[in-house]
């Protein structure tokens, strides 16, 4: 059996753990740079005229009118709280697959002589007692069914956030309850097609002939079909596969017109992503850079462009990557616009050990490798961007993200501890 | 300071008094002219490579005391909280103290706890026959760290 444990309204709940005055009140969390609403608790979702993923400046009046509490995203806090949840889950199962920041699969196979329903409740209560975060637990023979059980645990109040699919009757009941669009692994397009042929719930889907599913929805659909019938197809993934592309693009705190500042931001993002690249022992072959003006502004002229540079030799050296990105940026930059965002993307990622030189160039010499290792070691010890390429500059503040309403980093910064007093 | 300067050529060999101008080189050794190749830090602890008798403590070495190990039993359930003001003097908790709070502990009679009442954090001893209806326990206070100076 497999359990899917996920946190309810995770970001908002992380904030509420340290703010008891907000319990039972609407809370939303904004994206980086306070751009749009990315998370809301159930009280905030109940206010139906707050659209998710809308730019904040468009809905700010509504938020204030409904007395919605809003926070800038505090990923340091959310990441640390997530770690706690996953560690606690690790006490209940030898195999935990962290699927996202707020959900994980846990392998419960081989558990005998215990009630899985009780075990689910124990998991739920321990996590909520130890961290203050509410979770839902779905237990079933396969991952897709566990996901479905988890959905049922929340949507049907009687289940009290724990639901176990451990019999044929329960499986069929769950399948009939689940709308086809809500099945994990069935996207919107496939859901529409299935509805057109009269398949409205998961049960009807499992009654389709396998040949049809395989032909129309490829092997991905077939796996979902089998999993819904109780046949495990998705293995436990303990180590995430190396990423195929690493990128970052954030809006500036202010609109930047001049190349110099944009170069600094670009170099800063490159150093961020190249550090990730090195952490997974890979090299990138292509560097893509793009710039965008603010499309929500009707007054300014608009412009956007992107350019990809192919590196002579795949590398993860910050300095090589920065100079490549700079070449691209200089090509696409046009003066006279007020830029909102610059983004970088590293693609063509291959393992570090497979890098081949060519006739004219050799892979980075050992020397540079040592330099970069030292670089990373210093930044790990003394904090992000303690040392960086000269191009990054020292004016990070000017284009660094706006996080006006960020809560304190209660669990990672000694100076930002939760304060209690009268 | 020495970058690219060919004229500056100092070899410090011992107790030769240096002019006041260069007195800041007292702790450095400079081996070549013009280019600074090696500066020994005075604070680098030296480890003897010579053979001889091993330290009699070799087989008795233990890791140094780690407060995290002593004071934090359940890391994933432990939170640190800063006290602001002298409102909890009755519990021997003073301004600026740091509380170590373990959320995983069961709520026993007379435990000192951080609680939530009327949407506010407070500190209370858990009364006899307590039920969570009176107030919500956020976590049990296990240690109070007080700065003594």
Residue extents of the structural domains in chain A: 7-77, 93-228, 246-399
Supply the pLDDT for residue B28.
45
pLDDT at B52: 66
Q: Return the percentage of chain B with pLDDT > 90, whole number.
A: 43
B52, part of any domain = no
CB contact under 8 A, B77 and A419: no
Query: A297 to each of A142, A293, A332, A335, B53, how far by Cα in Å?
Result: 48, 9, 21, 18, 77
CB contact under 8 A, A87 and B104: no
Q: What is the mean pLDDT of residues B122-137?
A: 87
Give the pLDDT band of residue A305 (cuts 50, 70, 90).
Answer: confident
Look at residue A286 and give its three-state secondary structure: strand
Q: How far is B102 from chain A (nearest CA, A)?
A: 8
The domain that contains B141 carries what CATH number?
2.10.109.10
Q: What is the CATH number of domain A246-399?
A: 3.30.1490.100
User: At A420, phi and psi to the nearest 5?
Assistant: -130, 135
Q: Is the pLDDT of residue A325 over 80?
A: yes
Distance CA A84, CA A107 (A): 18
Q: Look up the ipTM and state it.
A: 0.74
C-alpha span between A382 and A75 (Å, rounded): 19
pLDDT at A131: 96
Strand A37-40, strand A27-30: pairing: antiparallel
Give the number of other Cβ atoms within 10 Å of residue B107's Cβ: 14
**How far apart are the two ends of chain B, measured CA to CA in Å?**
41
Residue B13 pLDDT > 50: no
**What is the pLDDT, as a whole number, of residue A13?**
95
Specify the pLDDT at position B146. 94
Q: Considering only CA atoms, which of A214, A202, A78, A56 is closest in space to residue A140?
A: A202
On whether any CB of chain B is under 8 Å from the CB of A79, the answer is no
The whole-angstrom separation of Cα B136 and Cα A27 is 21
Check A417 against B82: CB less than 8 A apart: yes
- Asked whether residue B53 is assigned to any structural domain, the reply reads no
On chain B, the residues whose CB falls within 8 A of the CB of A21 are: 119-120
Domain that holds residue B22: 1-42
List, for residues A168-211, the tens digit of each pLDDT value: 999 999 999 999 999 998 988 999 999 999 999 999 999 999 99
Based on the fold, state whether residues B133 and B93 are members of the same structural domain.
Answer: yes
Whether B11 is covered by a domain: the verdict is: yes
What average pLDDT does the structure give for chain B? 75
Residue B82 lies in a domain: yes
* Residue among A83, A129, A420 minimizing CB distance to B81: A420
pLDDT score of B106: 92
Whether B83 maps to a domain, the answer reads yes
Write the CB contacts of A385 (distance below 8 Å, at least 6 apart in sequence): A268, A271, A379, A392, A396
The model's pLDDT over A71-93, given as tens digits with 9 standing for 90+, comes to 988 888 999 999 999 999 999 99
Instruction: Write out pLDDT tens, residues B46-105.
Output: 555 566 677 777 778 888 888 988 999 999 999 999 999 999 999 999 999 999 999 999
Mean residue pLDDT across chain A: 85
Q: What is the mean pLDDT of residues A49-66?
A: 77
pLDDT at residue A242 is higher than 80:
no
What's the pLDDT at B58? 76
Q: How far is B66 from chain A (nearest CA, A)?
A: 17
pLDDT band at A303 (very low <50, low <70, confident <90, very high): confident
Residue B3 lies in a domain: yes
Token pair recorded at residue A266: 């670009």
Q: Are B74 and B141 within one domain?
A: yes
Q: Poorest-confidence range of A44-48, A87-91, A273-277?
A: A44-48
Domain membership of residue B57 (yes or no) is: no
How many contacts (CB atoms, under 8 Å) link A and B?
67
pLDDT at A169: 94
B17 falls within a domain: yes
Number of domains in chain B: 2
B contacts of A418 (beta carbons < 8 Å) = 79-82, 121
What is the pLDDT, as a whole number, of residue A240?
64
Instruction: Give the pLDDT score at B126.
Output: 92
This prediction has a pTM of 0.73
If DSSP states are collapsed to H, E and C, what string results for chain B? CCCCCCCCCCCCCCCCCCCHHHHHHCCCCCCCCCCCCCCCCCCCCCCCCCCCCCCCCHHHCCCCCCHHHHHCCCHHHEEEEEEECCCCHHHCCCCCCEEEEECCCCCCCCCEEEEEECCEEEEEECCCCCCCCCCEEEEEEEEEECCCC
Q: What is the CA radius of gyration of chain A?
A: 25
- Chain B residues within an 8 Å CB radius of A132: 103, 138
CATH (one of 3.40.1170.60, 3.90.700.10, 3.30.830.10, 3.30.530.20) for A7-77: 3.40.1170.60
The pLDDT tens digits for B35-61 are: 444 555 455 555 555 666 777 777 788
Same-domain status, B93 and B134: yes
pLDDT winner (highest mean) among A187-196, A244-253, A279-288: A187-196
pLDDT tens figures, A382-391: 766 677 777 6
Q: Which long-range contacts (CB under 8 A, 24 or more apart) does A57-64 make?
A: A57/A296, A63/A28
Encoded tokens for A2: 């497999």
Which of A133-137, A418-422, B28-32 is the most confident on average? Answer: A133-137
């Amino acid at each position: 059996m497999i359990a899917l444990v996920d946190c309810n309204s995770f970001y908002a709940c992380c904030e509420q753990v340290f703010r008891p005055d907000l319990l039972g009140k609407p809370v939303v969390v904004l994206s980086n740079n306070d751009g749009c609403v990315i998370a809301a608790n159930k009280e905030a979702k109940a206010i139906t005229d707050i659209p998710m993923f809308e730019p904040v400046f468009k809905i700010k009046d509504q938020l204030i009118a409904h007395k919605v509490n809003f926070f800038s995203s505090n990923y340091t806090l959310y990441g640390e709280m997530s770690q706690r949840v996953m560690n606690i889950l690790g006490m209940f199962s030898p195999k935990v697959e962290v699927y996202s920041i707020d959900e994980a699969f846990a392998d419960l196979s081989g558990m005998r002589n215990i009630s899985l329903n009780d075990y689910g409740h124990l998991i739920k209560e321990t996590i909520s007692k130890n961290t203050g975060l509410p979770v839902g637990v779905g237990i079933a023979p396969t991952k897709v069914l566990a996901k479905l059980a988890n959905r049922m645990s929340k949507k049907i109040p009687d289940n009290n956030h724990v639901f176990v699919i451990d019999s044929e009757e329960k499986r069929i009941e769950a399948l009939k309850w689940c709308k086809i669009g809500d099945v994990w692994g069935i996207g919107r397009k496939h859901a529409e097609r299935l509805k057109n042929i009269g398949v409205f719930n998961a049960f009807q889907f499992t009654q389709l002939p396998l040949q049809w599913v395989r032909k129309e929805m490829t092997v991905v659909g077939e796996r979902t079909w089998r999993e819904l019938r109780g046949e495990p197809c998705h293995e436990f993934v303990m180590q995430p596969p190396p990423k195929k592309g690493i990128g970052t693009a954030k809006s500036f705190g202010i609109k930047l017109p001049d190349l110099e500042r944009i170069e600094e931001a670009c170099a800063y993002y490159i150093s961020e992503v190249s550090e990730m690249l090195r952490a997974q022992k890979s090299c990138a072959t292509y560097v893509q850079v793009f710039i965008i003006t603010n499309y929500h502004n009707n007054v300014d002229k608009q412009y956007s462009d992107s350019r990809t540079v192919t590196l002579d030799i795949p590398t993860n050296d910050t300095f090589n990557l920065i100079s490549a990105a700079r070449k691209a940026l200089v090509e696409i930059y046009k003066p006279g616009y007020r830029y909102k965002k610059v983004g970088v993307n590293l693609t063509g990622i291959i393992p570090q050990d497979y890098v081949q030189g060519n006739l004219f160039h050799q892979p980075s010499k050992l020397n540079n490798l040592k330099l970069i290792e030292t670089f990373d070691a210093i930044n790990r010890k003394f904090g992000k961007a303690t040392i960086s390429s000269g191009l990054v500059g020292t004016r990070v503040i000017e284009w660094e993200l706006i996080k006006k309403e960020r809560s304190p980093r209660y669990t990672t910064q000694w100076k930002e501890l939760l304060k209690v007093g009268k | 300071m020495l970058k690219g300067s060919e004229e500056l050529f100092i070899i410090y060999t011992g107790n030769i008094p240096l002019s006041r101008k260069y007195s800041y080189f007292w702790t450095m050794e400079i081996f070549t002219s013009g280019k600074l190749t090696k500066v020994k830090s005075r604070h680098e602890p030296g480890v003897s490579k010579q053979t001889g008798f091993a330290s009699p403590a070799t087989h008795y070495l233990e890791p140094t005391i780690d407060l995290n190990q002593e004071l934090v039993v359940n890391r994933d359930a432990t939170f640190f909280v800063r006290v602001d003001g002298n409102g909890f003097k009755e519990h021997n908790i003073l301004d600026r103290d740091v509380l170590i709070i373990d959320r995983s502990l069961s709520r026993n009679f007379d435990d000192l706890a951080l609680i939530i009442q009327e949407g506010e954090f407070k500190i209370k001893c858990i009364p006899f026959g307590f039920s969570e209806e009176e107030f919500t326990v956020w976590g049990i206070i296990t240690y109070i760290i007080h700065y003594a100076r």
